Amino acid sequence: MHESILVFRKRRYLWLALILSALSMAAYLLHDPQEPPNGGTVLGYTLGTIGALMILWLTWYGVRKRRYASRAGTLQGWLSAHVYLGIALLVIVLLHTGFQFGWNVHTLALVVMVLVVLSGLYGVYLYMKYPERMSENRGGTSRAELLSQLDDIDRRARNVAAKLPDAYRDFVDSGIQRTALGRTLWQRLRKEDNSRIRIDGEVVENPGQEAAMDWLAGQQSRADATLAATIAELSALLRNKRQLLRQVSEDLRLQAGLELWLYAHVPLTAALLVALTAHIVTVFLYW
Amino acid sequence: MKYLIRFITRNAAGGSEFHDRIVEAPVITMGRATDQVLHLKDKRVRLQHAEIERRDGGDVHITTSALAGVTVNGKSQRDARLKVGDVIEVGANVIRIIEAPDGVDFAISFELRADASSEHLVSKWSAPSPGIGGWSKRRLSWTLAGAVLLFGFLLPWFGMQGFLAAGPVHNAHSGIANQCGDCHVTIFERVPDSACMDCHTVTRHVDDAEHAVLGTVRCATCHLEHNEPPQLVNQHQALCADCHADLPATVGLQRAGDFLDDHPQFKVSLKRPTPLDDGSLDWQIEHLVLADVVDGDRSNLKFNHKAHLAADGIMTPDGKRVIRCSQCHEPEPGGVGMLPVSMDEHCSECHTLAFDPDDPTRTVPHGDPEAVLQALIEYYSARLLGDDPDATGQRLRRPGQKLTRADRDRVAAQARTQALDIAADLFERRACVNCHEVTAVDDDALPWRVLPVQLTDEFFPHTRFSHAAHDTEVTSCDSCHGAGTSEAASDLLIPDIDNCRECHGSGERRRNSPAQLTSTCVACHGFHFDAKEDFR
């Protein structure tokens, strides 16, 4: 049975995060330093150390998830802990600051950390929503199946075209070879269809197989009954292909969304490691 | 309905074999799902791909909702009537309708086509996406990390050292400490006391070796920079209470843990006179528990606050006038204390020292009894010897004629008599006696003794108190001093601790009433001073 990372093992990491946050908040409220709350009090150093170690551990997730042979817990458990402890980190580090912010390297580290956590939360949202939308869009099949169906239609289109004059065969072949959906993340997010087709010796844009279907419709109207029937068969296949391409485009768009947030989460994490180092070094450089 | 399904497998040599299965079901479902009657292991096939079903009229149909449809006799169809000999293709699966043997309603054969592998013309779309505008996550990571590194270390390098500070520098230091190194003398070492002592000198708190505070604790333990809001002075209750709530008896100080309920009664510093053998007074400052001062303020002054503060005013040379406290008690610059009240500035307008109704602007000097008599004698001598013919008792003489010695003595005696008359009036009845203790003495030179007056300047010299800070909407002079009901100058109009506690409470907020301010020791007391004796 599939278990979401959010409810992994009876939400054990949610409870861990809640307890960690509650303990930090209780300590913050009970702690009464002889100075304004800041990162330099006993509690401030404690929370700061915990926060820094948590950041290192959370970052280690990027390493752990690539270690397929690792037996240190399941990857699902790691991700569940990664999500919940990442949120708890926000609480711990905010208490570490004593809510003192400024235009300095220390607040820079905080801001970068908050951005990392927020991008992570967005990632969690996507991982909760998008897979469902993806299977909804695919109607219970996989991307590979959609692509196989496309293959199948292409093959059948070639079979049908084989019964038609050479012009149709070239038409179908070029349409198949020049079918192209977005390749980069941006193109996929925008559901770009860069398909082209060679018609009457000229390569034209063919988004949604529109140009191809228009041309076929024109041919069909001028053809005799036998030819028209075969052309109609080809048109039906193209209509199916268009529908499948839409599904694939949507699938690619959703997958691009799933990948895109990592382009914020991962580089920001790298920036955070540097900012955190700068923060710690500076604090002790000017102790 | 009873179906026969014949599964045909072909071997590499081209031979074939088959086995039959009888299925009793209303429909033959086919798809990739395991619950299908015909389980098609082909990724191009949907979970529930198509169904074969006999309809009411007896015709057998195949129907599908798959976009790719099924191919019946080479034609892609969604719904087709089936007859013996028809060939259905679903992906790489080939289904043929065959003659139904006896006892079976409908029969099909099933086989996997030899060319089952697909062309994967579109497999390029499932390849991993190549990043954003050619930027991989790794490249973005290095770039962003480098940018932060530049930001964190280059900005300070180019003079913006504040970018490294954890918070602002207090105003008191902002003008003199512009570089980190001004206080952070050695990197990776904490700020030494010497960095503070370059400018500051500090008095001691506890001087005996056992309890020495200064020199054992770094300045920056209590005096912390870079906080927001900026706060250089440790105002925490524990700063004092940690020791003073539980001092050893040998120290000889009363315990003080919290202003609300663990604080000694106020001790007041009063100037008090002690008569010496020669009749003069020795003024000494005594530190007394406020509640124990039974003889009040012994300034030797006579003054009635109540009369002066009468709500309907008091008679003055200009008629009735209402007098306010601040007309006599003026705040000193900064508003911490009050300027001294002076006879010249605050009293003499009404309490004039004039003595001659014929000459109301002529006054005797204030503050020196001998000078008063001397001034009177000089005044009347001058009048007796002067040129004014109307002057009382002046003797006529010819121009150019000089006074004889006897005349001079007589005039001097007369002037002295007259002066003593007036002086008696001033000292005993009209002027001095209003405010001063005057006694007649057997002394020819000056037959009166005026007790000298000394007013206490500071009643609580070792506490911080600012009148200006207490000038609020809810306070008036009277709410602490109660001068409006005081009829004698000996009334000690200094508020006691209960008066302060109306507004000032504990150092811990939760112990206070809503009307009380959280007040720690440092609100009134300083740490670095050397006046322990006052608190014994």
Beta-carbon separation of B149 and A270 below 8 A? no
Distance from the A153 Cα atom to the nearest Cα atom in chain B, whole angstroms: 7
pLDDT band at A160 (very low <50, low <70, confident <90, very high): confident
Measured CA to CA in angstroms, residue B414 lies from A254, B365, B382, B425 at distances of 123, 22, 11, 17
Of A244-248, B116-120, B151-155, B237-241, the one with minimum mean pLDDT is B116-120
A189 in B contact zone (CB under 8 Å): no
Give the pLDDT score at B121. 45
Give the pLDDT score at B119. 43
- Using DSSP's 3-state secondary structure scheme, residue B57 falls into coil
DSSP 8-state symbol, B116: -
Give the pLDDT score at B532. 52
More confident residue, A134 or A92: A92
Chain A residue with minimum CA distance to B120: A151
Per DSSP bridges, beta strands B319-321 and B314-316 are antiparallel
More confident residue, A83 or A176: A83
| Helix locations, B356-502, DSSP H | 369-385, 405-424, 432-435, 477-481, 497-501
Q: What are the contacts of A157-166 at 24+ separation with CB within 8 A?
A: A157/A234, A157/A237, A157/A238, A157/A241, A159/B74, A160/A230, A160/A233, A160/A234, A160/A237, A161/A234, A163/A230, A164/A227, A164/A230, A164/A231, A164/A234
Structure tokens at B213: 């505070």
Contacts of residue B378, defined as CB under 8 A and 6 or more positions apart, other chains included, come to: none
- Using DSSP's 3-state secondary structure scheme, residue A166 falls into helix
Give the pLDDT score at B392. 44
B179 in A contact zone (CB under 8 Å): no
**Looking at this protein, which amino acid is placed at residue A109?**
A
What is the average pLDDT across B102-110? 88
Residues of chain B with CATH 2.60.200.20: 2-121
pLDDT band at B500 (very low <50, low <70, confident <90, very high): very high
What is the average pLDDT across B295-301? 90
Mark which residues 82-101 of A lie under 8 Å from B by CB.
Answer: 100-101
Element (H, E) at B307: helix B305-308
Signed CA dihedral, B51, B53, B55, B60: sign only: positive
Kindly tell me if the per-residue pLDDT of B124 is higher than 60: no
Question: How far apart (Å, rounded) are the C-alpha atoms in residues A275 and B165?
Answer: 14
Give the pLDDT score at A75. 86
**Looking at this protein, which amino acid is placed at residue B222?**
C
In terms of Cα–Cα distance, which of B89, B31, B27 is closest to B61?
A: B27
Cα B492 → chain centroid:
34
What is the average pLDDT across B179-190? 87
Beta-carbon separation of A185 and B131 below 8 A? yes
Contacts of residue A58, defined as CB under 8 A and 6 or more positions apart, other chains included, come to: A82, A85, A86, A89
Beta-carbon separation of B141 and A266 below 8 A? yes
What is the average pLDDT across A204-217? 91
Q: CA angle at residue B155 from B150 to B157, to 5 degrees?
A: 100
Mark which residues 33-72 of A lie under 8 Å from B by CB.
Answer: 33-36, 38-40
Question: How far apart (Å, rounded) are the C-alpha atoms in residues B520 and B145?
Answer: 46
What is the average pLDDT across B191-217? 75
Q: How far apart are the first and last CA of chain B?
A: 112
Distance from the A118 Cα atom to the nearest Cα atom in chain B, whole angstroms: 17
Beta-carbon separation of B119 and A154 below 8 A? yes
In terms of Cα–Cα distance, which of B156, B157, B134, B137 is closest to B145?
A: B137
A116, A258 contact by CB (below 8 A): no
Beta-carbon separation of B129 and A267 below 8 A? no
Most B CBs within 10 A among A138, A145, A230, hence the mutation to make, goes to A145
pLDDT band at A112 (very low <50, low <70, confident <90, very high): very high
Residues of A in contact with B132 (CB under 8 A): 184-186, 260, 263
Torsions phi, psi for B88 (to 5 deg): -110, 130
Of A106-120, B339-353, B389-403, the one with minimum mean pLDDT is B389-403
Q: CA angle at residue B42 from B41 to B45, to 5 degrees?
A: 115
Kindly tell me if the per-residue pLDDT of B391 is higher than 60: no
Q: CA angle at residue B227 from B169 to A86, to 5 degrees?
A: 130
In this structure, whether the domain defined by B2-121 belongs to CATH 2.60.200.20 is answered with: yes
Contacts of residue B7, defined as CB under 8 A and 6 or more positions apart, other chains included, come to: B18, B19, B20, B21, B109, B110, B111
Residues of B in contact with A185 (CB under 8 A): 129, 131-132
pLDDT band at B240 (very low <50, low <70, confident <90, very high): confident
What whole-number percentage of chain A has pLDDT above 70? 99
Give the pLDDT score at B125. 57
What is the average pLDDT across B488-503? 91
Residues of A in contact with B40 (CB under 8 A): none
Q: CA angle at residue A96 from A93 to A97, to 5 degrees?
A: 95
Give the pLDDT score at B118. 39
Of A21-25, A171-175, A252-256, B154-158, the one with minimum mean pLDDT is B154-158
What is the average pLDDT across B456-483? 89
Contacts of residue B515, defined as CB under 8 A and 6 or more positions apart, other chains included, come to: B502, B503
Question: How far apart (Å, rounded) are the C-alpha atoms in residues A217 and A172?
Answer: 14
Question: How far apart (Å, rounded) are the C-alpha atoms in residues B91 and A152?
Answer: 7
E-only strand ranges, B306-452: 314-316, 319-321, 438-440, 448-450
Distance from the A40 Cα atom to the nearest Cα atom in chain B, whole angstroms: 10
Most B CBs within 10 A among A172, A274, A285, hence the mutation to make, goes to A274
Residue A34's region, left for phi above 0, alpha for psi from -120 to 50, else beta, is alpha
Distance from the B529 Cα atom to the nearest Cα atom in chain A, whole angstroms: 20
- Using DSSP's 3-state secondary structure scheme, residue B143 falls into helix
Structure tokens at A263: 């382009």
Give the pLDDT score at A118. 96
Mark which residues 506-535 of B lie under 8 Å from A by CB.
Answer: none
More confident residue, A112 or B117: A112
What is the average pLDDT across B212-216? 69
In terms of Cα–Cα distance, which of B371, B370, B354 is closest to B362?
A: B354
Give DSSP secondary structure letters for A138-157.
Answer: HTT--HHHHHHHHHHHHHHH
Question: How far apart (Å, rounded) are the C-alpha atoms in residues B259 and B256?
Answer: 8
Whether a cis peptide bond, with omega within 30° of 0, leads into B229 is: yes
Give the pLDDT score at B116. 43
More confident residue, A159 or B491: B491
Beta-carbon separation of B236 and A39 below 8 A? no
* Average pLDDT in chain B: 83
More confident residue, A246 or B43: A246
Q: What is the pLDDT of residues A239-275, one digit of tens each?
A: 999 998 999 899 989 988 888 899 999 999 999 999 9
Distance from the B262 Cα atom to the nearest Cα atom in chain A, whole angstroms: 20
- Using DSSP's 3-state secondary structure scheme, residue B258 falls into strand
Q: How far apart are the first and last CA of chain A?
A: 54
Give the pLDDT score at B122. 47
Cα A208 → chain centroid:
25
Give the pLDDT score at A25. 95
What is the average pLDDT across A12-28? 93
Beta-carbon separation of A285 and B165 below 8 A? no
Residues in chain A: 287
Kindly tell me if the per-residue pLDDT of A178 is higher than 50: yes
Residues of A in contact with B123 (CB under 8 A): 147
Q: What is the pLDDT of residues B260-290, one digit of tens each?
A: 999 999 999 999 999 898 878 899 999 899 9
More confident residue, B365 or B199: B365
Q: What is the pLDDT of residues B127-136, one digit of tens each?
A: 556 677 778 8
Cβ-count burial of B527 within 10 angstroms (0-12 exposed, 13-18 middle, 19+ buried)?
middle
Contacts of residue B352, defined as CB under 8 A and 6 or more positions apart, other chains included, come to: B317, B360, B363
pLDDT band at A145 (very low <50, low <70, confident <90, very high): confident
Distance from the B344 Cα atom to the nearest Cα atom in chain A, whole angstroms: 50
More confident residue, B273 or B530: B273
What whole-number percentage of chain B has pLDDT above 90? 20
Per DSSP bridges, beta strands A196-199 and B93-98 are unpaired
More confident residue, B215 or B259: B259
Give the pLDDT score at B401. 67
To the question of pTM greater than 0.80 for the whole model, the response is: no
User: Using CB atoms, which residue from B44, B165, B187 is nearest to A104?
Assistant: B165
Give the pLDDT score at B399. 67
